[in-house]
Every structure is written in C-alpha cells, then in structure tokens.
Amino acid sequence: MFQKVGNPLGSQPTYFWDGCFNKRMDTLIARNHPRQVRLQRLSSGGTMKIIDDVRDLLPLADRIHVARMLEKNPDVVRSVTVPGQSGTAGIFAYLPLNAYGAWALMTGRYDGSKPDPAWICSAGEKPAAIAIWLIVAPGLLLRLFEPIARLFRELCPEGCAIFSYGATDASASIQRAVGFRPAREMFPGASAHLVAACPDNAVPIDIARSIERARRAHVHVSVARSIEDMARVFSVRSATFQAEQACPYEEEFDGNDFCATQLLAYVGDDPAACIRIRYFGEFAKLERLAVRREYRSRRLSRPLVEAALAHCARKGFRRIYGHSRADLVEFWQRLGFDVIPERPPFWFSDVEYVEISAELTADPLEIRFGIDPMMAIRPEGSWDEPGPLDMSLVRCSLAA
C-alpha cells in the first residue's frame, strides 16, 4: 500500500507495489529505512559532470546520447547522496518507458549504450514500464531500495513492470535474491539477460496490447536503400502528386531520384510520407515532400523534414535550399526557413512557388575529411553502425 512520506527518513517505510518483489525486499527496506540515502535532481551540467566522473569505471553511453535523453527528460539521472555527508556518493539512472520503449526493450532492441529518446516519457508523463539504466553507488545499494521505491511510486502510483539486467555477477545475484525473475517468464520473446519484476495489478497482457498498439502507430524515418524502398517512395508520391494534383509523370519523375537521398516515414510498417535530398557544393536541397492523404492528420511533415535537416547537418551542410508552394510558406517558416528576399515567385506543374532557405547549426558529429575509412563506406545515414565491410574485417582476421 502506498504511503505518502513527507520526510524520507521519518514515518513508515515506503515499499514497492504489492507483489513486485519478495518479502526479502520488504525486509531490506524496513531494516535500512533509518539509513536510507537520497536521490537528488541535478542541473544538466551537474548531470554530465557526475556521469563523466564514473565513465572510467563503467562503459557508458557517450555524451551526445546522454544529452539527447536529458533533453527529453532531465529527471532520468539522479545523484546519490548520504544524509550528513557532503558531495555525491553515486549515481542512479532509470528510463521511464513509454509503450514503444517497453516493446523495444522486450524484443531485444534495447541497447543502454545507445539509448533512443523515442523510448522514454517526458517529465510528468506516466510510464508503461521502467528500466533501470545505471546504478553506481558502492556499498549503498541496499540503502537505495527505499528511495527507488518512492521514486517509482511517484512515477506510476498504480504500478508497472520494472526491468533490469545484471551487469555483474554480484548485481545479478542480488536481483534474484529480492525477486527479479527472467523477463521471458512474463514476456515471451524478451532477451535472455533481461530480468523483470511485475506487481500484482500490472497485467502483462494489457501491457502487451498497448505495446502492439504503439508498434502499429509508431512513426519512424529511414533512408531508402533498396529497389523496394524506392517503390515505396514512388507509391507515396504517385498517390500524392499524380492522383491528387494531376501532375504529369515526366514532371514528377524527373530523372533525379537515383542521384539523391530519399527518406521514408513509416506509420507502423506502412510507408506514409517521403522527402528527397540532393546535394550541391555549398548547400543541400529538400524537395518532393509528400504525405499520403490518410496520414495527414498524423503531422508527419515536421518529423520528416527535421530528419532530413539532421541528415544534412551530419553530412556537414550548413545551408539548405528549397522551393515552397506559395500557400505553404508558413509551414516552412515554422521549421526555420525564410523566403529568399528579392527573388520573384515562379511556376512549375501549374503551381506557384517561392525560393526558401535555412541555416543549420553545426552537428558535433559532422562527418569531415579525414574520418575513419570504414565510416566513409558504411551505408548512407548509418555511419555509427557496423556495415557490411566492417564485417569483412572480422572475416579477414579469422582467415589470417
């Protein structure tokens, strides 16, 4: 039963939700109630400093990934402090997972070293599940259980599944002792290393249904890489420009599609929108933005354009050029574009257009001359993932 505690060190202990862990967890919380530690919110700069302080002890996500998670929810990293002592004694990090994040975790897509902000709730939102991301608090783990229970109850008063994994043999042993079970027992298909604790009133099948709904509704953007991807691009544009706007075939398919980068936005597994990027010496050009009629209420244009701008920034472009329909200038202005002054409107395919441009902020991961040669030959847009030729290094080492 949830008890409101004004003073964390007074009153009665706060336990996890009923059925979440075993009696040993309750005993440990009661025993350490007078000596529990505190979980403190930090400023963004303070959070990055404490993470850097423990980076030499454990492999952690890089600063860019951490910064993106903190931008989405600054509460996910807390400092561990001991009452009566100055300074920070450790760090606790958690991920308040939305339904999509829980699905990603339970289907093996979770990688704590490369967390995705799309997995987590914003501050103040109720999570579908919670993942323990990182605990570094030497000698203080047992004293951490109650403040963690209090934090999780504040996030989700009625209870939700908690996921973790044993980074060391010692931590895995403690997890088993307090009632964590292999996640596969409750969630078939979960990774073998994943453990979970599920309260009595968190019904797994309801979680699974919400995860499936999220999967079907999830919007994601990817680079078109195959002939099949290009067929998806062409189908979206045909449905938009030819079917709705009666654009002639030779004007829509202008000979530039195979010398450009095409981005596809999916809703679930269905291709719903696309945009084309072409590259010139001093600028990149966005064009052929199309959203299928049935998905226009989903507001796909903004995330698709933002993905295209991020792609261009990663490739080192600072200036973006485009043509806006005269009646859509306001949309592009909300995304940071301006009409180029003293340039007259012009027409093509029976539509009036104006020229627009935007200036991009430098991407700290911008690809520059002198990069690792293996990065330069990875698939477009997947420069941080091993590609087919990276795997050839493994093959060559085995043959040596």
CATH of 23-216, one of 3.30.70.141, 3.40.309.10, 3.40.630.30, 3.30.499.10: 3.40.630.30
Domain residue spans in the chain?
A: 23-216, 218-376
Q: Is 79 helix (H, G, I), strand (E, B) or coil?
A: strand
Strand partners, 359: 319
Residue 380's closest CA among 233, 224, 266, 234? Answer: 224
Please give the pLDDT value at position 271.
Answer: 95
Phi-psi region of 189 (alpha: psi -120 to 50; beta: other; left: phi over 0): left
Please give the pLDDT value at position 2.
Answer: 37
pLDDT along the chain (400 residues), means of 10: 43 91 94 92 70 63 80 90 86 90 81 84 91 87 94 93 80 87 82 87 62 75 96 97 92 95 94 97 96 90 95 96 96 96 91 96 90 89 85 74
The answer to whether the beta carbons of residues 88 and 96 sit under 8 Å apart is: no
Please give the pLDDT value at position 217.
Answer: 77
Residues 302, 297, 304, CA angle at the centre, nearest 5°?
A: 20
Please give the pLDDT value at position 185.
Answer: 84
CB-based contacts of 124-127 (< 8 A; 24+ apart in sequence): 125/96, 125/98, 126/155, 126/156, 127/96, 127/97, 127/98, 127/155, 127/156, 127/160
Q: Give the architecture-level CATH label for domain 218-376.
A: 3-Layer(aba) Sandwich (3.40)
Percentage helix, strand, coil, to 5, in the chain?
40, 20, 40
Backbone angles phi, psi at 198, to 5 degrees: -130, 120
- Residue the block writes with tokens 């009153």: 11
Fold equal for 23-216 and 218-376: yes
State the DSSP H helix or E strand holding residue 199, giving kind and residue range, or none if neither: none
Please give the pLDDT value at position 9.
Answer: 52
d(CA 53, CA 38): 19
Please give the pLDDT value at position 6.
Answer: 42
- Angle of helix 141-155 relative to helix 169-178, nearest 10 degrees? 60
Please give the pLDDT value at position 4.
Answer: 41
Please give the pLDDT value at position 269.
Answer: 87
